[in-house]
Structure 1
Amino acid sequence: MSDLGAGFGYLMKGQRWAFQHGRWLGFGLLPGLVTLVVYAGALTGLGYGADDFVAWATPFADDWSSPWLGLLRNTLVVLVFVFGLFLAVITFTAVTLLVGQPFYESLSEEVDRSEGGEVPRSDLPLWRELWISARDSLRILLRVALYGVLLFALGFIPVIGQTVVPAVGFCVSGYFLAQELTSVALQRRGMVLADRLTLLRGRRMLVLGFGVPLTLSFLVPVVAVFLMPGAVAGATLLVRDLVAPEGAEPASPYAPGQGRPA
C-alpha cells in the first residue's frame, strides 16, 4: 500500500514542479488544448449519435414490447458512451503526447536538469521519435482496446457490471495512462517498449498510485489539459527513481522540488 501513496506523491510533486515553472506550464498546455478541441467534437458527436447507432445495431429488438425495448437500448446507449469515454481518457494522453512530442520531451529534459544529475537526450531525428512514439502508443492502445471490449461485455452482468467493472476499468485506464506518460522520459533513456513494460510491471502499485487519480481527473477534459504538463513532470520524476543507479537512494516523492525558477 505504501507504493500507492508514493505514486500519488510523484503526481503531486509533478504538478507542483509545473506550477513553480510557469513558462514550462504554458509551454506544455498547447498540445492539450489542440487535442481537447478535437476530442470535444468527437464526444459530442457520440452523444448525439449513440441512440441511432444502438438502434441500428439491435434490429432484433424492434418488435419487443415496453419496457424491455427501452431498457435494452437505454442500457446500451449508456455503455456505448462509457466505452467511448474510456477510450477517450486513454487515447487523449497518447494523442496529446504525439502532437506535443517536441514540447513534452523538452519539458521532461528540463525536469531532469532542474533535479540535477544526468540529463538523457535522444539523438534520433524528430521524425524517427514521432514514428517510435506513434508505433508504441498504438501497441499500448491495442491492449487497452482488448481490455475495453472485455469490460464492456462484463458490464452486462447485474450488480458486478455496475460496481466492480467500472472500478477495474479505472485501474486499467490508470495503469496504461501511466505507461504512456512515462514513455517520454524512458524513450529518452533509450528503453524500448518491452523493457519499459517490464520495468513498470515490477512496480504495479506505484504505477496505479500515479495513474488512477490522474485518470479520475482526466474525466473532466479541461482539467486534463491543465494537468498534462505536471503529469509529464511527475512521470519524469518517477522514472528518475525507477532507473536510479543500483545502490542510489531514491528521492522522496513527497519532498519539495529543488528546481530553479523558470
Structure 2
Amino acid sequence: MLKELAAGARMLLRGFGFWRRDAGVMLLGLVPAAIVFAALVWGLVALGIGLPGLVDWATPFADGWQEFWRSAFRALVTVVVFAGAAVLAFVTFTALTLIVGDPFYERIWKAVEADLGGEVPAEGPSFWSGVGNSLVLVVQGVLSAAVVAVAGFVPVVGGVLAAVLGAVLTGRLLARELAARAFDARHLDPRVRRALIRAHRWRFLGFGVATQLCFLVPLGAIATMPAAVAGATMLARSVLDEVHPVAADRA
C-alpha cells in the first residue's frame, strides 16, 4: 500500500518534470487554471465573510444557551460548513478548469502521450464527453462535501476526521477525473476502467492526495494544474501499460 501511494505521488513529480520537456505547452495550461482559481477564491472569501452571520441566523435555537456553548457550537458549524465548501471548491476547480481549458489540456495530454511512446490514440475524447465527466465530478464533489460536513460533527475527533476524510475523498475524485482523458481516448469499457482503478486504488489515491496538498499552497492550484494533467496521463499510462493486453482485449 505505502509503495503504491508513493508511486502515485511520484507521478505528480514527474508531471512537474514535464516542464523541462515542453515548457510552452505547459505554460498554456496556467491560463484557465488562473481564471477559475480567481473566481473560486472570490467565492470562498465572500462565504468566509458572511458565514458567521449566516450561521447565527440559521441557529436561533442556540440563542438561549450559555455563551461558551453557544459560541463553541456556532464556531463548529462555521468550520464544518466552510470545510465542506472548500472540498467542493477543490473538486469544482478541477472540473471547471478542465472544461474551460480543454484545448490547452488536450495539447498537454497529446504531448505527454507522444513523449511516453507506444500506442497513442489519434484523438482524445470529445469536448462534450469532458463536460459530462466534469459534471459527474461536481455531483460527486457535492456528495463528498456533505459527507465531510457530517463527519465534522462527530464529538472530539470530528475536525480531524473531516480533514482526513476530505483529503481521501477529494484525492480519489481528482485522480479519477484527471486520468479520465487517457482512458476515454482509448474507449475503454466502463467496467474495464473501474477494474483498473480498483486494482491500483492506492496509486491513484497517492496521486490525488499529493495533487490536493499542492492545491493547498498559496497559488499552488494554478501552478499544479498543468503538472497534474501531465502526471495523470503518466499515471493512466502506467496502469494501462501493465495490463495492456488484457485491457485491449476486453475494451
Per the normalisation by structure 1, the TM-score is: 0.86
Deviations 1:205-251 (A, max 9, x none): 01011111111111235111111111111111111121127478xxx
Match of 1:214 among 208, 211, 216: 211
In 2, Cα distance between the equivalents of 1:66 and 1:84?
27
What's the offset of the Cα at 1:42?
A: 0.6
In 1, Cα distance between the equivalents of 2:53 and 2:190?
39
The DSSP-based 3-state class of the residue aligned with 2:114 is helix
Q: Which residue of 2 aligns with 1:63?
A: 64
**Comparing both structures, which one devotes a greater share of its residues to helix?**
2
Q: Which residue of 1 aligns with 2:129?
A: 132
Q: 1:6 to 1:73 in 2, by over 3 A?
A: same
Q: Which residue of 2 aligns with 1:184?
A: 181
Q: Which residue of 1 aligns with 2:27?
A: 26
Higher relative contact order (CA closer than 8 Å, sequence separation 6+): 1
Q: 1:171 to 1:147 in 2, by over 3 A?
A: same
CA contact (8 A) 2:183 2:193 kept: yes
CA contact (8 A) 1:14 1:230 kept: yes
Q: Which residue of 2 aligns with 1:42?
A: 43
What's the offset of the Cα at 1:147?
A: 2.8
* Equivalent residues, number: 244
CA contact (8 A) 1:183 1:196 kept: no
Q: 1:225 to 1:192 in 2, by over 3 A?
A: farther
What's the offset of the Cα at 1:15?
A: 0.8
In 2, Cα distance between the equivalents of 1:206 and 1:67?
45
Q: How does 1:62-101 map to 2 (within 5 A)?
A: 62-101=63-102
In 1, Cα distance between the equivalents of 2:171 and 2:28?
25
- Pick which of 222-231 and 153-162 moved more: 153-162
In 2, Cα distance between the equivalents of 1:161 and 1:118?
47
Q: How does 1:110-189 map to 2 (within 5 A)?
A: 110-122=111-123, 129-189=126-186
In 1, Cα distance between the equivalents of 2:81 and 2:243?
47
In 2, Cα distance between the equivalents of 1:206 and 1:119?
22
Deviations 1:104-130 (A, max 9, x none): 011101111122222213376xxxx23
Deviations 1:183-210 (A, max 9, x none): 1222222236565334212211010111
Structure 1 letter corresponding to 2:196: L
Q: 1:5 to 1:131 in 2, by over 3 A?
A: same
In 1, Cα distance between the equivalents of 2:122 and 2:63?
60
- Pick which of 106-115 and 61-70 moved more: 61-70
Q: 1:215 to 1:50 in 2, by over 3 A?
A: same
CA contact (8 A) 1:120 1:188 kept: yes
The DSSP-based 3-state class of the residue aligned with 1:243 is helix
Deviations 1:159-181 (A, max 9, x none): 22122331122011111110111
Q: Which residue of 1 aligns with 2:249?
A: none
The DSSP-based 3-state class of the residue aligned with 1:190 is coil
Gaps of 5+ in 1: 249-262
Q: 1:45 to 1:19 in 2, by over 3 A?
A: farther
Do structure 1's residue 232 and structure 2's residue 214 form an aligned pair? no
Do structure 1's residue 199 and structure 2's residue 196 form an aligned pair? yes
CA contact (8 A) 1:10 1:237 kept: yes
In 1, Cα distance between the equivalents of 2:6 and 2:101?
29
In 1, Cα distance between the equivalents of 2:69 and 2:124?
61
Runs of at least 4 residues of structure 1 off by over 6 A?
none
